[in-house]
Structure 1
Amino acid sequence: MNDKDINIQHLKFTQRPIPIPVDYRPLYKISIIILVLKLCCRDNASTLLKLHLFSWILKSDSNMNVMRNYIISNYKKEIEVWNIEPALNRALQFAVADGLCEMTSTKKYKLTEKGESFYNSIIESESFTKEVEFLKFVGKNKITDSRIDEMTKQWKLQYVENK
């Protein structure tokens, strides 16, 4: 598979009265998904909740610092509730439809061979250097599914009782 296999045939632009923020652009979100699957997920597969966590983390330097401090503290610091984005869900639908990732029998999103090729294109373009650097810091074993489960249990105990 090569870069020529990644072919977007029907692309239509609609002029809007205001520009669409980058966070809501499907190609940006698809790129983030591909980077996360490749750099931070065992077997290049992830749950939906983990993808939403990383989407939130990569949204700002502040969020990246929160997660970096959480990891460096050996997961002792408090972590805030992250948001669930419809834009990410939409980008996942596009990524699956285009064959960049697929849904597994365990309900995880898994990078395909075409997705690997797209990943290589992203890395070659050097467009996401800050994000790639952070994701390499996190790696495949610092934020596991069990760690995410612990984080969400903390929400239930802290945020629900305190609000």
Structure 2
Amino acid sequence: MAIQKLTFNRKPTPLNPEFRPLYKMCVILLILKISSRSNTSSLLKLHFFSWMIKNEERRKQLISIVEDGNPQLPIFNIEPSLNQAILFLSSEGLIDTLVDRFKLTEKGGALIGEILDDATAFEKEIGFLNLIGKKFNEKKVDELLNHLSK
């Protein structure tokens, strides 16, 4: 018995918020504002924080690294969507691209200020970044990479 007719009905597929471009852009701005010295960060640090911020287990792992000096450094992913979000933020004048860093602009600072003023927006992300603060700096990111490359 052969199939005479096959019909597909397109149904909307929900997109997980962490994959939405606007979410990625806001996370980048939050990282620059809350957890980066002089509102400036390397691409690698942005990727690392973006990866660690995604779920509770990873957040706890980074808190352990920062507070306890836990030597178990995690492996993390480099996400093309984060690079695309950075390009968009740069083209909109929300961040500046320096030689090897990205810096929050005044315009980006104003936008992130509005987000920080909304107590319901990005609660988990902001709470986590405030807890880490500026304790996980570029030097620690470099140490992480050196450790992973061995």
Give the TM-score normalised by the residue count of structure 2: 0.88
Give the superposition deviation at 1:107: 2.0
Q: Which runs of 5+ in 1 are unaligned?
A: 1-14, 158-163
Is 2:106 aligned against 1:116?
A: no
Q: Residue 55 of structure 2: which of 47, 54, 60 is its match?
A: 60
- Correspondence list, 1:76-155, <5 A: 76-104=70-98, 106-126=99-119, 127-140=121-134, 142-155=135-148
Q: Which runs of 5+ in 2 are unaligned?
A: 1-9
Give the superposition deviation at 1:66: 0.6
Q: Which residue of 2 aligns with 1:5?
A: none
Report the number of matched residues.
140
> 4+ runs of 1 displaced by more than 3 Å?
none
For 1:132 and 1:65, the matched residues in 2 are separated by: 14
Q: Which residue of 2 aligns with 1:31?
A: 26
Is 2:50 aligned against 1:50?
A: no
Give the TM-score normalised by the residue count of structure 1: 0.81
Measured on the aligned residues, the alpha-carbon RMSD in Å equals: 1.5
Report if the CA contact (8 A) 1:46-1:109 is conserved.
yes
Give the superposition deviation at 1:146: 1.0
Q: Helix, strand or coil for the counterpart of 1:102?
A: strand
For 2:143 and 2:59, the matched residues in 1 are separated by: 19
For 1:79 and 1:152, the matched residues in 2 are separated by: 9
